[in-house]
Every structure is written in structure tokens, then in C-alpha cells.
Amino acid sequence: MPKGFGDKLVIAISSRALFNLDASHQVYINQGLAAYAQYQIDHEDEILEPGEALPLVKKLLRLNERLGGEPRVEVILLSRNSADTGLRVFNSIQHYGLKITRAAFSGGTSPYRYASAFGCHLFLSTEPDDVKQALEQGIAAATLIASKNSSSREDELRFAFDGDAVLFSDEAERVFKSQGLTAFTESEKAAAKEPLSGGPFKAFLAALHNLQAEFTDTDCPIRTALVTARSAPAHERVIRTLRAWNIRIDESIFLGGLPKGSFLKAYGADVFFDDQPMHCESAKDHVATGHVPHGIANQI
């Protein structure tokens, strides 16, 4: 973590995740970089419409108001724009009253490398290649998928996570993929008291857990949930792993292979992270969803 951030929760967000830049992106695709740059300059006083991540970012920054004192959450903008074309993005940030003061404009190249330099716990983007490279650098990262719905809860921030290849390593999932469900179940029963290795989102979950500890049990606006395709008896290793990490999960849902979408809607997730595209497709009709392109399910 860079000096000056202390024990803050640090989130990096791309400009296209924060705002709807579809129109200007089409200019870039159809007419090239010079036309795109001129388009952004010509429209820099026009406020951008909200993107997929804006409601989440608002709730994250609102935590600082709830806690008072020194801000505990830092949101950083990472953008492929140049500073010149990015002026429209900062104008929109000011319009929505977002307290985002730090940014990296990479002038057309991938900005993922600055997520590590800033010491970010999480990087959210709409560019799959940027997300993959951030994951390779050991940063929790996800590609945000357009969703039809968003959480209606204004007083709580609810995160939901898949287990294998997201919170945990994909070691168990590799057994399932190569040997099938029966072998997976027997393997997990045999290793029930052996904690799983951490996955790409372990450090982010730990940072959330530390932030939760700054609120009282009755006043905490952050909730976390594990939403996994596992079922008994494969549940025991997961429970013991979280216990070994000394991390609390507020809610755990063991679905035994059922579609996750309706359960995520019932939970009221602000965002759900999963490594498997089919689960992301099920989820996106109900909640904001981030695909985590990590593990064996993304190598086939």
C-alpha cells in the first residue's frame, strides 16, 4: 500500500464503468482516435449518463460520511483517456458530487498497471483484457456486465461472492472439472479440515471485513454473502477456511447447482462476483455482476 493511504479501502474504477461512454466509444471505433478526442472536447460540458458502477461508487463514498473523521474509502479513476479528453469525465464526477480526486489517464493504453501502483484492493472495468492483466498482478478485478436491475437499498452496501476461483483458489474446482461431481465431493470431504488457499478476492474481502469492524454490529451498512454452487457435505471446508482466515461472512447460500440469479435478487446484492460466465449470465438479469476471468473455468 502506498504511503498516505494507511489502511483505507482503495477501489479503482474505469471511466467506462463509472459513466456511459457508449456514444463516444462508437466514434472511436468508427472514426478513430483523433475524431474521438475532438468529440470529447466538443462535448466536455455535457454531463455523462451514469454507468454500471456509479450506484456502487456512490454507496462506497457514502461510507466516509457514516464514519466521519479521516476518509476510510478511496475511489480512484483509471482511464484510457488523456487528461485533455478526460476533462469531460471529471466534469461529470463533479456534477454527481463524487469525492474522487485521484486519477490516472493513460492516453489510449491500458491503465491496469496503475491499480497496483495505487495499492488498490479492487479494480472494476468494462475492458476484459485490462481486468485479466490486473488479476495477473494479484489485484482483485472484474469485468462489469450490463445489468437490467440495481439494488434499491440506499442504507446498505451488499457484496456477494462466488467461492471457488473468486474468494478461494480453484484447486477444488479443478478436481470437479477433471474428475466430476462425485470425485469433487469425496475430495472435499477428505480435506474438510484443510483450509483452501486464497483466491483473487481474498484480500478485498479481508479489507471489507476490517471496514465492517469500524461499525457496531447493529449499525454496520456493509453486508457480505457467499453464494456458491456447493452443497453439503462440500460446505464444511468452506466454513472452516473462512474461520481459519478469521473473516466473517454475513450470509452463506449453498445452492447445490441451482441458478444463482433469484437468490442474489432476494439477498439484494449491489454487485456479485463470479468466475463462470454462465453464472454471470444468470445473475445479470437480477443484480449488477462482475465476471472474474480467473481459474480453470476460464481456461477451457
Per-residue pLDDT tens over the stretch 197-223: 999 999 999 999 999 999 988 889 999
- Enumerate the β-bridge partners of residue 229: none
pLDDT tens string 215-264: 988 889 999 999 999 988 989 999 999 999 999 899 999 999 899 999 99
Q: Is the pLDDT of residue 2 over 60?
A: no
The residue with greater pLDDT, 29 or 287, is 287
- Predicted pLDDT at 300: 61
- Predicted pLDDT at 148: 67
- Predicted pLDDT at 151: 62
| Alpha-carbon gap, residue 135 to 279, rounded angstroms | 19
pLDDT tens string 64-106: 998 887 889 999 999 888 888 888 999 999 999 999 999 998 8
- Predicted pLDDT at 4: 53
Same fold, 9-144 and 157-298: yes
Quick one: fold of 9-144?
Rossmann fold (3.40.50)
Across residues 187-204, what is the average pLDDT?
94
Report yes or no: 192 and 240 within 8 Å, Cβ to Cβ.
yes
Q: How confident is the model at residue 27 (pLDDT cuts 50, 70, 90)?
A: confident
Helix (H) or strand (E) holding 252: strand 251-254
- Predicted pLDDT at 34: 82
pLDDT tens string 125-145: 999 999 999 999 999 999 999
Report yes or no: 79 and 104 within 8 Å, Cβ to Cβ.
yes
Across residues 163-181, what is the average pLDDT?
91
Q: Which residues contact 189 (CB under 8 A, 6 or more apart)?
A: 233, 234, 236
Q: With pLDDT > 90 as the criterion, what percentage of the chain qualifies?
A: 64
| Alpha-carbon gap, residue 160 to 158, rounded angstroms | 7
Q: What is the CATH number of domain 157-298?
A: 3.40.50.1000
What mean pLDDT value characterizes the chain? 90
- Predicted pLDDT at 29: 85
Q: Between 33-42 and 87-95, two packed helices, what is the crossing angle to 10 degrees?
A: 40
- Predicted pLDDT at 147: 76
Across residues 22-46, what is the average pLDDT?
85
- Predicted pLDDT at 23: 86
Q: Is the pLDDT of residue 3 over 50?
A: no
> In the chain, what are the domain boundaries?
9-144, 157-298
Closest CA to 289 of 98, 164, 136, 151: 151
Active-site residue set: 162
- Predicted pLDDT at 82: 82
